[in-house]
Amino acid sequence: MPTLRTTLTDPADIATRSLPRDDLLVREHAVGDAMFEANDGPFRHWTRTLSSVDGRTTETLSYSIAVPHWGRLVDILLRRPARRGLIAGHQPFWSPADRLSQRDVTVLGLCATLAVVAGFLGGLVGQTISYVTDDLGGGTATQANSLAIIRIGAVLTFAATALADRRGRRPLMKACLVGASLASIVTAFAPNVASVTAAQLVCRGLVAGSAFLIPIVCSEELPARSRAYAIGMMTLPGGLGVGMVLWVLPLMGLGPSSWRLIYLLAAIALVVTLRTVRLLPETRRFVHDDHTPQERLHQHMSGARLALLGIGMFLLNIFTSPTQQLQTDYLRNTRGMGTLALPAFLLLTNTWGLVGVIVGSQIADRRSRRLAAAIGLVGLAIGNSILFQVSGAAMWIASIFGSVVGAVAAPALGALLPELFPTLRRGAANGLLNGAAVLGSVAGLLAAGHFIEDGNYGPTIMALAAGPLLVAVLVWWLPETAGVELEELNPDD
């Protein structure tokens, strides 16, 4: 538990600190003479006292962060604001627009850990399929076809998200990640590409279910002006999970079948899932609406919103799936990167997406979801198109540009999908939208497998980039949701 001591000399500062704090970080109440405790804020414990000895006034602050698993990292960011306070309009660039409660940050911390698990399990096949086909037989077309077939797992995604509207977010989150972990362990023993495809069909379908449930949990728990912030923050541990696959990718140098070792690491993901979900509460909005029969009877999905978002997800994934799933093959076989250079390139260029997520969160929560989405989608299309056209330093710059600017869209798009549907239809709606995304993925991967010849990715990727550019226009037909309560966006709730 950190303890911070500050010597105060300015009389005006002493007078201000002698009153209970009420800012974006914490709200205090007095519990004694010059002693204060928190009654709202992201802390398990918060005690602040002022004492005077020999004419010197000292403020002593002791607190403990309520964020599970990530508390030490968050404490690094909070040391200065905890000591000095957060004034509206002057908060750090990484701060949400609302004061978060103990429950808020508990849910965020647990969801962040589950996002790491989902990112790791979801990133396995995309980063290893090139090595799998080298070992078991096949080329670029085999990889593209296998990845396209895996998308049939969208049926499992829809079943999981729709069932979450009846059974709850928490039990389905557990079922998805436990099932995905077991499917990945089975993949390690697959005798051929068809078996790998079948096991990963189950894995990816269930991982996608959890990937939709995490933003749903965040949207149903977090304050209105911090939903995009929370959902955007979930992309960072999700990216960390994918990055963990890259950390162990050098194991591929051990031999043709060494890819199997990476899939066995899913056993760790299984243990982490079971220990984390046990602490995750069910969302308050689901509990309320599930116990209000008239709400279940009268909630309906907006067909216009569903259609518009479905078209957008289709067009977006026509481009993103080939660029993400076949990037390893492109870098290995077209650009000649080895087992050390390839993960180094991906880590060093994609890690900068953190900047885009933070910027996008602030734009999406404080100005406009649609503006943030449009900026990011245009940057994603430009950066990743150029990546597949050039080599050398230009390829590195293009990848960084696509990662940073493209990530600006992540918080806005991640927030819009759960926000625009009522609580007891939210999971089913997102499952249907995943189906549209999968159709786009299949179309993009099949096009890539058919038109890409001899490692010449450039013309095909450039043509597919029309997808996200069209979505950047379509988002302006969606309602603005920044700072609006879910019940106002969905009158059925």
Co-location of 183 and 55 in the same domain: no
Average pLDDT, the chain: 90
The band of 377, judged by pLDDT with boundaries at 50, 70 and 90, is very high
Structure-block tokens of residue 41: 């804020």
The band of 12, judged by pLDDT with boundaries at 50, 70 and 90, is confident
Residue 418 has pLDDT above 90, yes or no: yes
The band of 218, judged by pLDDT with boundaries at 50, 70 and 90, is very high
Q: What is the pLDDT of residue 362?
A: 92
Q: Which residues of 223-234 are buried (b: 16+ CB within 10 A; e: fewer)?
A: bbbbbbbbbbbb
Determine contact, residues 295/289, Cβ cutoff 8 Å: yes
Q: What is the pLDDT of residue 327?
A: 82
Query: What Å distances lie between residue 470 and 234, 296, 363, 382, 458, CA to CA?
Result: 26, 35, 21, 13, 20
3-state secondary structure of 52: strand
Residue 92 has pLDDT above 80, yes or no: no
Residue 126 has pLDDT above 90, yes or no: no
Mean pLDDT for 415-421 is 93
Co-location of 353 and 479 in the same domain: yes
Mean pLDDT for 220-241 is 92
Residue 48 has pLDDT above 70, yes or no: yes
Co-location of 54 and 169 in the same domain: no
Q: What is the pLDDT of residue 186?
A: 96
Q: For 426-472, write each residue's pLDDT tens digit.
A: 999 999 999 999 899 889 988 887 888 777 888 888 999 999 999 99
Q: What is the pLDDT of residue 300?
A: 64
Co-location of 313 and 177 in the same domain: yes
Co-location of 374 and 423 in the same domain: yes
Co-location of 177 and 230 in the same domain: yes
Question: Per-residue DSSP letters for 18-44?
Answer: TS--BSSS-EEEEEETTEEEEEESSEE
Q: Which of 49, 66, 83 is the last residue of a domain?
A: 66
Q: What is the pLDDT of residue 291?
A: 63
Co-location of 47 and 113 in the same domain: no
Four-residue CA torsion sign, 423, 225, 430, 215: negative
Among residues 52, 48, 24, the alpha carbon closest in space to that of 38 is found at 48
pTM above threshold 0.95: no
Q: How many domains does the chain have?
A: 2
Q: What is the pLDDT of residue 267?
A: 96
The band of 121, judged by pLDDT with boundaries at 50, 70 and 90, is very high
The band of 367, judged by pLDDT with boundaries at 50, 70 and 90, is very high
Mean pLDDT for 216-229 is 93
**Dihedral, 39, 41, 285, 288 alpha carbons, nearest 10:** -10
Strand pairing category for 3-8 and 43-53: unpaired
According to DSSP H, which parts of 299-425 are helical? Answer: 303-325, 327-329, 341-350, 353-366, 369-387, 393-407, 409-419
The rounded percent of the chain whose pLDDT value lies above 90 is: 59
Q: For 445-458, write each residue's pLDDT tens digit.
A: 888 878 887 778 88
The distance from CA 62 to its chain's CA centroid, rounded to whole angstroms, is 32
Residue 114 has pLDDT above 90, yes or no: yes
Determine contact, residues 321/445, Cβ cutoff 8 Å: yes
201: Cα within 13 Å, side-chain hemisphere: 16
- Which strands sit side by side in the sheet containing 3-8, from one edge to the other? 3-8, 56-65, 43-53, 35-40, 27-32
Of residues 310 and 97, more confidence is placed in 310
The rounded percent of the chain whose pLDDT value lies above 70 is: 97
Co-location of 107 and 62 in the same domain: no
Residue 142 covered by a domain = yes
Co-location of 466 and 372 in the same domain: yes
Q: Which of 13, 38, 66 is the last residue of a domain?
A: 66
Determine contact, residues 305/434, Cβ cutoff 8 Å: no
Among residues 480, 483, 421, 439, the alpha carbon closest in space to that of 289 is found at 421
| φ/ψ (deg, to 5) at 164 | -65, -25
Determine contact, residues 47/63, Cβ cutoff 8 Å: yes
Crossing angle of helices 102-136 and 303-325, rounded to 10° = 50
CA 479, CA 489: separation in Å to the nearest integer?
Answer: 9
Q: What is the pLDDT of residue 292?
A: 65
The band of 54, judged by pLDDT with boundaries at 50, 70 and 90, is confident
Report DSSP state, residue 70: T
Residue 324 CB neighbour total at 10 angstroms = 18
Residue 81 covered by a domain = no
Of residues 408 and 128, more confidence is placed in 408
The band of 89, judged by pLDDT with boundaries at 50, 70 and 90, is low
Determine contact, residues 73/205, Cβ cutoff 8 Å: no
Mean pLDDT for 10-39 is 90
| φ/ψ (deg, to 5) at 336 | 70, 30
Q: Provide the CATH number for the domain around residue 163.
A: 1.20.1250.20
User: How big is the CA angle at 276 (ends 271 and 277), to the nearest 5 degrees?
Assistant: 105
Co-location of 267 and 152 in the same domain: yes
Q: What is the pLDDT of residue 296?
A: 56
Q: Which residues of 434-461 are buried (b: 16+ CB within 10 A; e: fewer)?
A: bbbbbbbbbbbbbbbbeebeeeebbebb
Residue 351 covered by a domain = yes
Co-location of 162 and 309 in the same domain: yes
Residue 42 covered by a domain = yes
Determine contact, residues 60/3, Cβ cutoff 8 Å: yes
Q: What is the pLDDT of residue 177?
A: 97
Q: For 231-277, write each residue's pLDDT tens digit.
A: 999 988 998 998 899 888 888 878 888 899 999 999 999 999 999 99
Q: Picking from 6-20, 350-364, 366-380, 445-459, which range would have the lowest pLDDT averaged per residue? A: 445-459
Q: What is the pLDDT of residue 8?
A: 87
Crossing angle of helices 409-419 and 353-366, rounded to 10° = 50
Q: For 385-408, write each residue's pLDDT tens digit.
A: 999 888 889 999 999 999 999 999
Co-location of 480 and 338 in the same domain: yes
Residue 94 covered by a domain = no
The residue segments making up the domain with residue 390 are: 102-290+301-489
Residue 21 covered by a domain = yes
The band of 376, judged by pLDDT with boundaries at 50, 70 and 90, is very high
Residue 77 covered by a domain = no
Q: For 174-210, write each residue's pLDDT tens digit.
A: 999 999 999 999 999 999 999 999 999 999 999 999 9
Residue 73 covered by a domain = no
Residue 14 has pLDDT above 80, yes or no: yes
The band of 131, judged by pLDDT with boundaries at 50, 70 and 90, is confident
Q: For 285-333, write each residue's pLDDT tens digit.
A: 998 876 666 655 556 667 889 999 999 999 999 999 888 877 877 888 8
Query: What Å distances lie between residue 81 and 23, 69, 87, CA to CA?
Result: 10, 21, 9
User: Residue 381 contacts by C-beta under 8 Å, 6 or more apart in sequence?
Assistant: 319, 465, 467, 468, 469, 472
